[in-house]
Amino acid sequence: MAEEKAKTEEKGKEEGDKKAAAKKPFNKKIPIIAGVIVADLLIMAGLGMFIVGKLKKPAEADPAIEALKKQEEEEADKKRSLTKIGMVLPKPLPFTVNVPGASGQSHYLKCSIQLEWDGLEPAGGGGEGKGPALDETGKEIEKRMPKITDIIINILSAQSYDELLRPAGKQKMKEAIVTEINAILPEPHIDPKEEEKRKKDPHAEPPPTGKLRNAFFTEFIVQ
């Protein structure tokens, strides 16, 4: 009996050892698996934050594209400036001046000049037979007409006969007329309320500059 009891106890001890041995590998695997899962989650979280950051970060502007865009905008502005019709005086200004020629010869220039500026034509016009109504810039030009006439006569008289016959000479005179007249014109008054409305409307016309845009010869005779 004692021998059988000893065998039974020994057998039970062996079975207990086997069960304990079977449990140990399982217990060691749990923290390993948990670590792998945590590492995967951290990697996925980091990857997600990286992608979100990339999406939120504004794309860096390509200098070549920006330069091309700026060039297109400048060309569009230039085209609008060339095709836009500004305000003009009711009638061109007539002039007749003496100009020096070669070998002391005397010549004269007879011309008519029209002035153009950016402006908005007032509602109602100028009335029958009076032509278009003048805006604030036009009124300032009329106020300074004696000074403007003197400026133009001085510029025309300073040209030589040879210069008057060249297209470049005519262009030089027009540019000088615009520059010198603009120097005596005041800056335009801008209504703050109108300026605020203009800022809110992306398609609004820019405010008048109060300055000349161009000078045109509507008549040009040199003799």
DSSP per-residue letters across 155-215: HHHTS-HHHHTSHHHHHHHHHHHHHHHHTTSPPPP--HHHHHHHHH-TTPPPPP-SSEEEE
Q: What is d(CA 117, CA 134) in angstroms, rounded to the nearest whole number?
A: 11
- The per-residue pLDDT for 14 is 63
Rounded Cα distance between 179 and 214, Å, is 9
Q: Which of helix, strand or coil describes residue 49?
A: helix
Instruction: Assess contact for 181 and 151: CB atoms under 8 A.
Output: yes
pLDDT (0 to 100) of residue 92 = 95
Tell me yes or no: is domain 86-123+135-222 CATH 3.30.479: yes
> How many CB atoms are located within 10 Å of the residue 92 CB?
16
* Of residues 217, 208, 190, 198, the one with CA closest to residue 137: 208
Q: Is the pTM of the predicted complex or chain greater than 0.75? A: no
Residue 100: closest CA among 108, 92, 88: 108
Kindly report, residue by residue over 12-58, the tens digit of the pLDDT. Answer: 566 655 555 555 554 555 666 666 676 677 777 777 776 666 655 55
Judge residue 188's burial from the number of C-beta atoms within 10 Å of its C-beta, 0-12 exposed, 13-18 middle, 19 or more buried.
middle
What pLDDT is recorded for position 129? 38
- Strands 106-117 and 93-100 turn out to be antiparallel
The predicted structure's pLDDT at residue 127 = 39
Quote the tokens at residue 167: 């297209």
Question: Residue with structure tokens 């027009």?
Answer: 174
**pLDDT attached to residue 177:** 97
What is the domain partition of the chain in residue ranges? 2-57, 86-123+135-222
All residue ranges of the chain with pLDDT < 50 are 26, 123-131
Cα angle 79-80-81, degrees, rounded to a multiple of 5:
90
Q: How far is CA 184 from CA 95, 138, 177, 178, in A?
A: 20, 13, 11, 10
The rounded distance, in Å, linking the Cα atoms of 165 and 221 is 10
